[in-house]
Structure 1
Amino acid sequence: MARDTPVQNQTATTEAEPLPNLVTIIGRGVPSSFEIVVDGDIEMVAEDPVEEATIVSGSVAEGTIDVGVQRFRFDGQVTNVHVVDWNGVAAPDSASVPNVHVDYGVPER
């Protein structure tokens, strides 16, 4: 009786797919705080989020910014964005709060 050739399980070594969406925080030269909440996962696009003084936990990212840019990749939808200037004045009452751009379906570079 002939035996069938056994089939070996092959495990593919694939990298995790990048999160499809991007939110960008742009500082305006005034110390400000931000909080971003999504209904999926969120992660900071940076070498060292701790150095940026940003906390990312599950579906929430919060931190401070005065100049420069901070980027976060996420899946799902943005459910809340809260930005305040150094006096605690929120947008739109403060022209000093950072700009926030949300882009869906952005390929990773």
Structure 2
Amino acid sequence: MSAEADETLPHLVTIVGSGVPSNYEITVDGEIELVGADPLEEATVVTNHSAEGAVETGVMRFRFSGEMANIHVVDWNGIPASDSPRPPAVHVDYSGARTAPNCV
């Protein structure tokens, strides 16, 4: 990713798989872009304002602009991350200020 892309998409959301298949949906009020992976290979759908896909192990990273609107994570049984015993970890970095949003 270029320095120009870092400036136009300054924030980062990282999803770290926990070993349990999980699905995620991310929505921002700006733009979002998958970092360092091929969306077709990762079966990730990315539009201008949202991304969705699955993670079991490994890390998925997305750069975005604007504010985080929503993160929705469920495990393979459809159990929301807040109630799942092993949800993926979600980290949001607003240009250096790391936060962990509420997963719905």
**TM-score normalised per structure 1:** 0.79
- Which letter maps to 1:73? R
Match of 1:65 in 2: 55
Separation of aligned partners in 2, 1:91 and 1:39: 22
Which structure would you say has the larger Rg?
A: 1
Match of 1:86 in 2: 76
The structure that is strand-richer by fraction is: 2
Secondary structure in 2 matching 1:52: coil
Q: How does 1:13-24 map to 2 (within 5 A)?
A: 16-18=4-6, 19-24=9-14
5+ long unaligned stretches in structure 2 = 97-104
Q: CA deviation at 1:16?
A: 4.0
Equivalent pairs counted in the alignment come to: 92
Q: How does 1:1-109 map to 2 (within 5 A)?
A: 16-18=4-6, 19-106=9-96
- Hey, which bits of structure 1, 4+ residues long, moved more than 6 A? none
Identity %: 58
Instruction: Give the aligned CA root-mean-square deviation in angstroms.
Output: 1.3
Separation of aligned partners in 2, 1:66 and 1:45: 18
